[in-house]
Structure 1
């Protein structure tokens, strides 16, 4: 078996929505949110262009607990891995999604007035085990 592969994602972007927390049927907490990243370049005419990509991020267990306190618009560092899945809905339509399974979440930048904490960089890592 060849084990020479890697699946690692690092994103720095802005929360596009309030995180959504729920529990699985096995009572495991999960939180999802969308993260926006921007790419800038100059076109052939020398004009600056920008593209925004949206990434669906999923956090589990204690990392989900941390993620549910994040706020729309916050700058966030996300480290994790890509996972793709597909399913068929009740109308027999197939769906396919690729998600970032978070392993580390870190708030970046200064905190807003009135928020608690020290240097403005709070972080959490997934449960080991």
Structure 2
């Protein structure tokens, strides 16, 4: 709130200046603003929505300081060949959840085969395998889960 009032006050002062003074004052104001505030960061979108069925009961993983719930979700794509034959392709998604309330709800109520809608974002990472080699992982970090009957 304080910043907004200061900015409004600066704008009113700038509007009262002559054009040449206005330009000089704008340069000074922007130089001060750059020193006080970080640069503007470009907005981006990383959003995923999945509707599918749970492949297995969710598992609690991680440490007591950083718990996480992990489950698999199946989605399907249907194809039809020219011959009239149908083919269904199943894709499996690894879903992780860090949010405390949602984590507990998932552990208490989600069961294998249940239909759910997951909203979240794609995350990438690396884990060390049992053989000591690093491998990349891809997961959907759940922000919200809607359960269906």
TM-score range, shorter chain: 0.7 to 0.9
> Offset of 1:2 from its aligned partner?
6.0
- Provide closer, same or farther for how the CA distance between residues 74 and 40 of structure 1 changes in structure 2, counting only shifts above 3 A: same
Output the TM-score relative to the length of structure 1: 0.75
Q: CA RMSD in A?
A: 1.7
Whichever structure has more strand as a proportion of its residues is 1
- Provide closer, same or farther for how the CA distance between residues 51 and 90 of structure 1 changes in structure 2, counting only shifts above 3 A: closer
* Higher RCO (CA-CA < 8 Å; seq separation 6+): 1
Output the TM-score relative to the length of structure 2: 0.66
CA distance in 2: counterparts of 1:62 and 1:75, whole angstroms? 20
Alignment match, 1:79: 119
Show structure 2 runs of 5+ residues with no match: 1-39
CA distance in 1: counterparts of 2:128 and 2:62, whole angstroms? 21
> Offset of 1:16 from its aligned partner?
0.4
Where 2:141 maps in the other structure, the secondary structure is strand
> Offset of 1:62 from its aligned partner?
1.6
CA distance in 2: counterparts of 1:88 and 1:29, whole angstroms? 18
> Offset of 1:43 from its aligned partner?
2.0
What is the number of residues matched between the two proteins? 108
Show structure 1 runs of 5+ residues with no match: 111-129
